[in-house]
Every structure is written in C-alpha cells, then in structure tokens.
Amino acid sequence: MALTSDLGKQIKLKEVEGTLLQPATVDNWSQIQSFEAKPDDLLICTYPKAASGTTWIQEIVDMIEQNGDVEKCQRAIIQHRHPFIEWARPPQPSGVEKAKAMPSPRILKTHLSTQLLPPSFWENNCKFLYVARNAKDCMVSYYHFQRMNHMLPDPGTWEEYFETFINGKVVWGSWFDHVKGWWEMKDRHQILFLFYEDIKRDPKHEIRKVMQFMGKNVDETVLDKIVQETSFEKMKENPMTNRSTVSKSIMDQSISSFMRKGTVGDWKNHFTVAQNERFDEIYRRKMEGTSINFCMEL
C-alpha cells in the first residue's frame, strides 16, 4: 500500500503544447483528439477537480436530467455517470471508449482547455457548461487535492506550490489560460459560463439557468429538491459523490477529504500578506484585457 503511494508521488507528467498532462492521457492523445462529438452532446468543462466545482455541477446536471429522482442519481458513483474524455488508465476502458459506448444524448466531462479540446466538439456546435472558480480558492483546493491524490505529483510545501500554480506547472495547465480561453469562446459557441461563487450565493437561480440551458422543464418543487440535494453538506455525506469508494492507494482522504470545505474565501487561511500582494500583481498582468470578474469572498 505504502509502495503505491510512494511510487505515485514520483509521477512524471508529460507535455502537450506546453500543457502538463498525466502520462496515460498523453499516450492516448491521438484517440482523444480524434474523438467524435455529436451535436446533442453536453460537455461539462471545468479547471481540474472539485477545485472548480466539477463534481458539484455534475450532480446538478444529473439531478436535472433525472428530474430530481434521487434513486436514479444513486445508480452509479459520479465518476461513472459522465465519461471523462481525456481519462486513461489502461487496461480499464478509456474515457473516449466509455463515451462511444454511451447512448445519446450524452453528458460528458473534460478539464481540457479550449486549445486542447478535440475539434469535433466545436465542429458539431455542442453545448458546453463551464464552471469557473476564483483563482485563489482554486489554488488552495488544488493544493489539498494533490496532497491526497496519489495519481498526481506531490505538491511540496504551500510556498512551493504557490510558485508551481502561478507558473501553470500543474496538470491541465495554467488556471489563467484555461479560464480566459473559455471566457473568450463563450459568445461564439453554445456555452453557459457559470461561477462557483454564484452557485454558492444563489443556487436556485443558477440551477434554473442550467435547467433552461439543457432545455429541461422542472417544476418548482423538484427545483427546490435539487437545490437541497446538491448542497455541499449533502454531497459530502453522499458516497456516490464524495469519492469514499475510491481506494486509499489512489486517494487518501485521511490526508485531506475530497470534498473539503466548499466555501468562498478559504484562501485567506493560506495566503500570506506578501503572497496575496504578489498574486494580485500577477493576476492583473495575466488577466489584462479580459472582462471577467471574480468574487473573492462572500
């Protein structure tokens, strides 16, 4: 057991167009790039992990799709419900293979940036649901995720990780490029661009937007139920969403739980004053010219 986790932390990432990715993903790159999207696909896109609310939006989408039927949403663990396009861990079926085997209309998931996304998604005018979270909370969340996930490199100390993150040397690349890329695409494609902080502040309003975007009609009582069932507290206790079924050799939740806090502004418990000032300066430089606005605290 210890061996796996020790080995896991020596993972050597590979690069595609300057973006770091897991080796198995890169080895499977031609299959991923030639993926055939269908016009009725809905692709959930986020910067990596629950850092940006991936699991949260997946559960919201699934609850809408199942018309608020909790039983149906318990049919499988969340990571098996929506094929993860770039996922690969041979000899298990890849995300592409799982998606191919899925009947339409499909709901799929990716962490890829706009530049790395398989082109057929753009060509088929698919619907995209993007969730963005403020960079500071994202960094904190990703740091704790890398501490407990043995499939990702060891993040080192918080000080070391701070440098790694601002330089985009993390799996799936730079937060700045990722968010900017999707933000710039939002008016040219069918993209519903949501903010984690908005879903936190007014879940009902944001869930209704998702519902309308999906072309679904859910009555008010069902909508209220979805709001209730997708609360952080509910999902943290739900074995279908909290990754408690994942082997400890892959995700060690004794180091940090998969669903940690789910709050806005936790970065204040990690960033030093100096780090915060430096980050704000880098943020201004990297995000210059973009109209996107993030909420840093609620």
| Tens of pLDDT, residues 218-242 | 999 999 999 998 887 777 676 665 4
- Provide the whole-model pTM: 0.89
Q: Cα separations (Å) of 147 from 56, 152, 193, 222, 258?
A: 21, 8, 29, 37, 10
Structure tokens at 62: 């699934």
pLDDT in tens, 256-269: 555 556 678 889 99
DSSP letter, residue 193: E
Asked if 208 and 60 count as a contact pair (C-beta separation under 8 A), the reply is no
Q: Judging by beta carbons within 10 Å of its beta carbon (0-12, 13-18, 19+), is residue 121 exposed, middle or buried? A: buried
Domains of the chain by start residue, with CATH = 14-286 (3.40.50.300)
- CA 244-246-250 angle, to 5 degrees, is 125
From 280, 51, 7, select the one nearest 175 (Cα to Cα).
51
Secondary structure element (H or E) that encloses residue 42, with its range = strand 42-46
Q: Which of 80, 82, 111, 150 is labelled catalytic?
A: 111
Beta strands 19-21 and 14-16 are antiparallel
111 labelled catalytic: yes
Which regions of the chain are under pLDDT 70? 1-10, 49-52, 236, 238-262
Instruction: Quote the pLDDT of residue 75.
Output: 79
CA gap 268, 276 in Å, rounded: 9
CB-based contact 162:100 (threshold 8 Å): no
Dihedral angle, C-alpha 164, 168, 174, 177, nearest 10 °: 140
* DSSP reduced 3-state for 58: helix
